[in-house]
Each structure stands twice: as structure tokens, then as C-alpha cells.
């Protein structure tokens, strides 16, 4: 019996990935992407877009060296947070 679910490029052909996946619940993965900067108007990281497209989490995070922001991508709330707040 297994209690974990593998997230990431294990069988994916694109080989895109996120930096961390936090799971308080086995069925609710929460991807976390770490970037130096995430500016308004800049596209989301490809690994995060791929993860959201595949697993449809309710929320995702981008930790960076900037200010707080909230985005929406395919029904997922993407919280852009300063790294110091983690």
C-alpha cells in the first residue's frame, strides 16, 4: 500500500518541473516555484504552467525577491510572495 503520489517529470515528455510540491493532503498538491524575480506581465514559469495544467491544484506559489501579488491561471490562484515571508 502506498501513501504518496509522484508529481513531476517521471513520465512526462516535456521534462518540466516545479521546485517543490507541498501536500497537506494526498489529493491536494500545492506547487511552489522559486524565482529570483517575478514581475507583472511576465509569463508564469513553464514548469508551473505544466503542473497546473496536469494536476489542477486550487493554489500555487511563486517565492521571489519582490512584492506580494496574486494571479489566476486556469482557475488556480497563484500567490506571488516575497521569499522572506516563507
| Per-domain boundaries in the chain | 20-85
Of 7-21, 25-39, 49-63, the least confident: 7-21
40/71 Cα distance (integer angstroms): 9
The answer to whether residues 59 and 30 touch, using CB atoms and an 8 Å cutoff, is: yes
- Burial of residue 58 (CB within 10 Å: 0-12, 13-18, 19+) is exposed
- Burial of residue 10 (CB within 10 Å: 0-12, 13-18, 19+) is exposed
User: pLDDT class for 2, splitting at 50, 70, 90?
Assistant: very low
Considering only residues 38 and 10, tell me which one the structure prediction assigns the higher pLDDT. 38
Report the relative pairing of strands 76-82 and 59-64 from DSSP bridges. Answer: parallel
5: pLDDT strictly greater than 60: no
For residue 76, the model assigns a pLDDT of 96
Q: What is the pTM of this model?
A: 0.80
For residue 6, the model assigns a pLDDT of 58
Tens digits of residue pLDDT in 31-61: 999 999 888 778 899 999 999 999 999 999 9
Amino acid at each position: 500500500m502506498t501513501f504518496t503520489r509522484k508529481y513531476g517529470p517521471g513520465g512526462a515528455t516535456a521534462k518540466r518541473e516545479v521546485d517543490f510540491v507541498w501536500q497537506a493532503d494526498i489529493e491536494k498538491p500545492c506547487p511552489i516555484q522559486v524565482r529570483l524575480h517575478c514581475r507583472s506581465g511576465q509569463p508564469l514559469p513553464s514548469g508551473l504552467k505544466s503542473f497546473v495544467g496536469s494536476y489542477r491544484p486550487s493554489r500555487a506559489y511563486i517565492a521571489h525577491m519582490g512584492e506580494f501579488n496574486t494571479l489566476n491561471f486556469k482557475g488556480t490562484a497563484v500567490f506571488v510572495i516575497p521569499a522572506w515571508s516563507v
